[in-house]
């Protein structure tokens, strides 16, 4: 009998329970993938984990407005991209203030061969040399597998701009990664 | 390079990245409900009109020996032993913008404990409190301020957090709040009260980086939740294309009921003051949102789109 009474308080509790459940489901499915995506954007695993952690907390806070896993994933991804951009900009600000150079690219992989590690560092460094938009478009396209329309949505730019950034970015990457481009069967 | 090869290189580059499990930390940060500012609501609204003059003095007279200009207020639970004074300094918080997280400012009505300096109260509120505007948030979480002292050449801020672990945005909030209060840029020295964390984090932001870290549009007045009637003056700072600051008033449904634009005193190299009169005499009494934004000359075709700053206002 009592369960038939829906109080405002009771409803609020159900909503927050939903958000917790959703958060965990999203975490299980996307935590590792999003951290990897953020590593490609910021070039540092520690920073990447912070960025993605913040994005998860923020998504939990917005669950009432998102209310569906697909929208939540799109929001998460967009937040990771935005916060990665902030993290890079902020690192530059601190570096300028301290008048020191930026930290070297930090990549794990103790188990891999020297050749593998060199190639991976070269890819991260090459991405870091691109303008923000080109790097974001290439990573969302070729790592996250998003369509041009989805990238345009995530970045808040037109599909025409996505095309332009993609073609300029991949031309530049081709130059920067010339030694690794032809190793089709490595 | 074909697309498959590019995808392979990107996937391979991070194929051995195995992040630590952060679910417990995410859970604990996500669950606690937002703390509400004690003055959100009636007391703040009632106080806003009387304290407005204080804020103007505060901004135009960047005196290091700044005495708080005090307006007595009704405390919700007055304690005779603790004299409470209230002032309205500019505090900095983190907010969302198309470019990523940026700093926004807010005139905040804060309580001064007996004998507490304005500097201590402002830094304490930034570190331990939360913004009034729900669009903003603090980058400080579960940290207490132990002391905030102005030594002349530096401001030393001692907290319960390991100085090395202070997030960039958190340090920015304190630095910009201190700059606004003192009217000049000094180095901030973050130290930890715990002897186990002996590190000191020296922090500062060059003026040339303001455009990188601050929102390019900031509303100073009205303050969040202010009551307005007739014609009110909105003001703030902006760096917007051709010094144009478009503004609008939206009703609760998000429909635009008034719009116009202000012209800032300049643009390009820093944030410049803007001011505009908003005539709300034709509006039904109720809740509205005042929105100021940067101009977007491309109409959204290029770049990240305009940045906005909003304030909820109550039209009487």
Mean pLDDT by 10 residues, chain B (316 residues): 85 90 82 36 31 30 35 40 60 90 88 80 93 91 90 88 88 94 89 75 84 93 90 94 95 93 92 94 94 84 80 92
Burial grade of A17 (CB within 10 A; 0-12, 13-18, 19 or more)? exposed
Is B12 in Cβ contact with A89 (below 8 Å)? no
Question: What pLDDT shows up at residue A106?
Answer: 47
| Beta-bridge partner residues of B279 | B231
Question: What pLDDT shows up at residue B138?
Answer: 95
Q: Which residues of B touch A174 (CB under 8 A)?
A: 1
Is B169 in Cβ contact with A90 (below 8 Å)? yes
Hey, of B28, B30, B294, which one would you mutate to test binding to chain A, going by the most A CBs within 10 A of its CB?
Answer: B30
pLDDT in tens, A145-174: 999 999 998 888 899 999 999 999 999 999
Is B212 in Cβ contact with A142 (below 8 Å)? no
Residue of A nearest to B20 (CA): A49
Q: Which residues of B touch A96 (CB under 8 A)?
A: 206, 209
Checking DSSP bridges between strand B226-228 and strand B308-315, what pairing results, if any?
parallel
Nearest to B30 among A57, A84, A86 (CB): A57
pLDDT in tens, B152-182: 888 999 999 988 888 889 999 999 999 999 8
Q: Which residues of B touch A82 (CB under 8 A)?
A: 96, 98-101
Is A89 in Cβ contact with B100 (below 8 Å)? yes
Residue of A nearest to B134 (CA): A61
Residue of B nearest to A58 (CA): B30
Distance CA B36, CA B219 (A): 21
A6 — pLDDT class (breaks 50, 70, 90): very low
Distance CA A78, CA A80 (A): 5
Higher pLDDT, B57 or A80: A80
Is B29 in Cβ contact with A57 (below 8 Å)? yes
| CA distance, residue B256 to nearest chain A CA (Å) | 22
Selection from A164, A71, A127 nearest residue B303 by Cα:
A164
Angle between helices B3-13 and A132-142 (to 10 degrees): 100
Nearest to B6 among A32, A84, A142 (CB): A142
* ipTM of this predicted structure: 0.80
A50 preceded by cis ω (within 30°)? no
Residue of B nearest to A145 (CA): B7
Is B10 in Cβ contact with A123 (below 8 Å)? yes
Q: Which two tokens stand for residue A43?
A: 């070039």
């Amino acid at each position: 009998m009592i369960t038939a009474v829906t109080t405002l308080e009771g409803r609020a509790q159900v909503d927050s329970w939903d958000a917790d459940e959703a958060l965990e489901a999203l975490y299980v499915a996307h935590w590792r993938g999003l951290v990897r995506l953020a590593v490609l954007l910021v070039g540092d695993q520690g920073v990447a984990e912070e960025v993605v952690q913040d994005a998860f907390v923020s998504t939990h806070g917005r669950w009432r407005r998102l209310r569906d896993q697909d929208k939540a994933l799109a929001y998460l991804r967009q937040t990771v991209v935005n916060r990665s951009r902030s993290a890079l900009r902020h690192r530059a600000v601190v570096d300028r203030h301290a008048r020191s150079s930026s930290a070297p690219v930090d990549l794990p992989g103790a188990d891999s061969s020297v050749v593998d590690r060199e190639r991976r560092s070269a890819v991260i460094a090459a991405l870091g040399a691109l303008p923000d938009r080109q790097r974001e478009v290439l990573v969302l396209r070729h790592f996250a597998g998003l369509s041009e329309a989805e990238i345009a949505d995530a970045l808040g730019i037109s599909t025409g701009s996505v095309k332009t950034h993609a073609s300029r970015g991949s031309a530049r990457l081709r130059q920067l990664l010339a030694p690794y481009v032809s190793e089709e069967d490595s | 390079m074909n697309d498959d090869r590019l995808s392979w290189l990107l996937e391979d580059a991070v194929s051995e990245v195995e992040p630590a499990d952060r679910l417990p930390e995410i859970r604990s940060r996500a669950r606690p409900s937002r703390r509400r500012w004690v003055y959100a609501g009636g007391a703040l609204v009632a106080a806003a009109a009387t304290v407005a003059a204080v804020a103007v003095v505060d901004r135009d007279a960047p005196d290091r020996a700044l005495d708080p200009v005090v307006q007595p207020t009704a405390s919700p639970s007055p304690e005779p032993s603790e004299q409470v004074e209230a002032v309205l300094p500019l505090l900095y918080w983190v907010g969302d913008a198309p470019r990523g997280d940026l700093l926004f400012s807010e005139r905040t009505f804060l309580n001064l404990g007996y004998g507490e300096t304005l500097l201590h109260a402002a830094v304490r509120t930034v570190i331990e409190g939360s913004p009034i505007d729900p669009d903003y948030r603090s980058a400080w979480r579960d940290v207490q301020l132990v002391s905030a002292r102005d030594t002349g050449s530096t401001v030393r801020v001692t907290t319960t957090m390991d100085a090395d672990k202070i997030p960039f945005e958190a340090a920015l909030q304190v630095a910009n709040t201190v700059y606004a209060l003192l009217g000049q840029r000094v180095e901030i020295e973050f130290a930890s009260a715990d002897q186990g964390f002996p590190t000191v984090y020296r922090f500062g932001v060059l003026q040339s980086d303001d455009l990188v870290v601050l929102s390019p549009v900031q509303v100073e007045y009205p303050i969040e939740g202010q009551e307005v009637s007739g014609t009110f003056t909105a003001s703030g700072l902006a760096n917007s294309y051709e010094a144009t600051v478009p503004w609008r008033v939206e009703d609760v449904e998000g429909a635009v009921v008034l719009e116009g634009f202000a012209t800032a005193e300049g643009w390009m190299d820093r944030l410049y003051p803007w001011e505009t009169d908003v005539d709300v005499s034709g509006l039904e009494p109720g809740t509205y949102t005042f929105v100021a934004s940067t101009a977007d000359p491309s109409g959204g075709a290029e770049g990240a789109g305009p940045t906005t700053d909003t304030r909820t206002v109550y039209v009487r």
